[in-house]
Amino acid sequence: MEEKNYKQKHIQLPSGEIYAEYVLNDKPPILLLHGFVSSTYTFHQLMPLLKEKFSVIAIDLIGFGKSEKSTSFIYSYANYAKLIKECMDYFDIKKISIAGHSMGGQIALYTAKQYPEKIDRLVLLASSGYLPRAKKRLIFVSYLPFFHLFARRHVQKQGVASTLKNVLYNQEYITPELIDAYGAPLKEKNFYKALIRLLRYREGDLNQEALNQIKQPALLIWGKEDKVVSLRVGMQLEKDLPHATLISYPDTGHLVTEERPEEVYRDIISFIKH
């Protein structure tokens, strides 16, 4: 197990209890947001690098990782953006940059849209983009009493190792430790009830018109071999965000933080320091 030389704490926010890992100092603040069916572990290689140059906060979103699996929280992107603001208020941070991976990137965009005065810069790491809301039929069946058990069986049938093969270009990164770390959140039964609520309440991703209104500088980082969110999505986001720059890494899949932590760190430093 990796030794974590930063604080780990459950904090109570108005929207619910979340788990946070953080290092606070006098350096520029950056918030790290994980993606779908993930946790702060997404940044286990990146955070030790970032803490040398930033005040860093990584959180498990409500419904994921070690955070609360609330049955009253409305699992929408707009509500997650509100959660980010609450987190900033808790740490008494007036303005922050956000680095979001996959779904976390979309939440970062929603936060910039809802609270533009709170967000300094955006780093979108293989961010989801242009996905519509779930179909009405799927939303309807999500209300069936045992649908969360179906979701659990579906996720567990796919398997963590198989999922990692899909998100990593270099298969040598797949170790028993990595499988255990990414699989741990899936073992909690209440996670699947939260997952169903996200399916039910999640809005569609921001459209072109909404993206055009986001004025913060944005750095888009992609793996050229991403099988989950194609590089084409990054290219379209670069066009639709007024102040965006796209960087892509060769021989890299969706999980850029796992395969290219040093490069991601280098590019974030260059982006935020200038």
Give the domain range for residue 248: 7-273
Following DSSP, what letter does each residue of 161-192 receive, concatenated? Answer: HHHHHHH-S-GGG--HHHHHHHHGGGG-THHH
Find the CATH number of the domain harbouring 76: 3.40.50.1820
Q: Mean pLDDT throughout 74-99?
A: 98
Are 227 and 254 in contact by the 8 Å Cβ rule? The answer is yes
Q: How many angstroms separate the CA atoms of 54 and 27, rounded?
A: 5
Range with top average pLDDT, 3-7, 100-104, 128-132, 178-182: 100-104
Domain-located, residue 12: yes
Domain-located, residue 178: yes
The three-class DSSP label of residue 125 is strand
The overall average pLDDT reported for the chain is: 92
Are 43 and 34 in contact by the 8 Å Cβ rule? The answer is yes
Q: Which two tokens stand for residue 181?
A: 């770390």
> How many domains does the chain contain in total?
1
Q: Mean pLDDT throughout 22-49?
A: 96
What is the band of 145 on the pLDDT scale with cuts at 50, 70, 90?
Answer: low
Domain-located, residue 126: yes
Percent of the chain scoring above 90 in pLDDT: 78
Question: Structure pTM?
Answer: 0.93
pLDDT at residue 188 tops 90:
no
How many CB atoms within 10 Å of residue 50? 23
Domain-located, residue 77: yes
Domain-located, residue 30: yes
Which residues are catalytically annotated?
102, 254
In the prediction, which pLDDT does 154 show?
66
Distance (Å) of CA 122 to CA 16, 150, 198, 199: 25, 36, 23, 25
Domain-located, residue 114: yes
Domain-located, residue 58: yes
Are 110 and 78 in contact by the 8 Å Cβ rule? The answer is yes
State residue 249 phi and psi, 5-degree precision: -105, 135
In the prediction, which pLDDT does 5 show?
77
Domain-located, residue 1: no
In the prediction, which pLDDT does 147 show?
63
In the prediction, which pLDDT does 1 show?
46
